[in-house]
Amino acid sequence: MASTNNAMIACVRTFLSSNNCFKLIVCEFISFRIHLYAKLLYHHHMKILIADDHELYRDALSILVQRLEEPTKIYLSSNYTDLLQLAQSADDWDLMLVDLNMPGLSYYDGIAQLSTQHPTTPIIVVTSSDDPKDSQRALKAGALGYMSKSMKSEDMLNAIKLMLSSGISIHPNHSTDTSTDSAELNELTPRQQDVLRQLCQGESNKRIARNLELSEHTVKLHVRAILQALNAENRTQAVIIAKQLFTQEIDP
């Protein structure tokens, strides 16, 4: 797109080239308009669909995802019937946050149809159900992640950030009930603890490398060591465990 803009601008400049001040002003004006239209045309807003039959929680999730770093457009639904119709109206969704039990369809059929419509869109189920069978069926139906409504908002936001930046799935065994104790932090080097704190802030490997002045390869090695030390399956679970451990260090 940039090369096309520059070529168009060059043609305009050639056509209007002279010592005439008026023509130069016209040239600069056209150049400005080309860049402006290109910026407006290609400016991307993250499109997020939130479905929950409880208005209060729907609004709470809307406020939460507005804290993502990218500009966000949020679309709301309160049942599976409306959700499927709304989802079908576009094919460029970036994320769907869906309550498990809503009117219209069974959650298995609703999520299965949603994932069939949009196989490349991450679907995260957000629910108050603690039944392992529900989480297993939701994931089998096509959900990429499963989060409890009892999670702290910061943990939920970080989990969403990690999934969007790296494609990591969020599984139901990523709970806050772990047997890890604060002694495991002592197994990490000071630099690995720095990396872990960056992970807790939802930073990607690239951002961590820049923030800590490390290479991305070194960051990956540190992350691998952190997962092993915390007995975590992936970054999301490591973040949840780490936040507990950092809290234990502060609280007596």
Q: Are residues 161 and 50 in the same domain?
A: yes
User: Tens digits of per-residue pLDDT, 154-197?
Assistant: 888 887 877 776 555 665 544 434 444 455 566 788 888 899 98
pLDDT of residue 74: 92
**Domain-located, residue 215:** yes
Residue 138 pLDDT class (50, 70, 90 cuts): confident
**Domain-located, residue 210:** yes
Pairing of strands 95-99, 72-77: unpaired
199, 193 in Cβ contact below 8 A? no
Per the structure, how many domains does the chain have? 3
Q: Are residues 37 and 74 in the same domain?
A: no
pTM beyond 0.85, yes or no? no
The single-letter code of the amino acid at 46 is M
Last residue of a domain, one of 134, 166, 198: 166
Q: Are residues 71 and 52 in the same domain?
A: yes
Q: Distance between CA atoms of 177 and 244, rounded to whole angstroms?
A: 10
**Domain-located, residue 174:** no
List strand residue ranges (DSSP E) for the chain, in order: 46-51, 72-77, 95-99, 123-127, 145-148
**Of 7-21, 75-89, 128-142, 216-230, which range is least confident?**
7-21
**Domain-located, residue 172:** no
- Give the chain's mean pLDDT: 76
Local structure of 17: helix, strand or coil: coil
**Domain-located, residue 13:** yes
Q: Identify the CATH number of the domain in which residue 126 sits.
A: 3.40.50.2300
Return the percentage of the chain with pLDDT > 90, whole number. Answer: 21
Which residue range is the domain that position 28 belongs to?
A: 2-42
Beta bridge partners of 123: 96
CB burial class (10 A; 0-12, 13-18, 19+) of residue 172?
buried
What is the DSSP-derived secondary structure letter of residue 249? H
pLDDT of residue 178: 41
Q: Buried b / exposed e across 207-234, counting CB within 10 Å, b at 16+?
A: ebbeebebeeeebeebbebbbebbebeb
Q: Are residues 130 and 161 in the same domain?
A: yes
Complete DSSP assignment for 127-138: ES---HHHHHHH
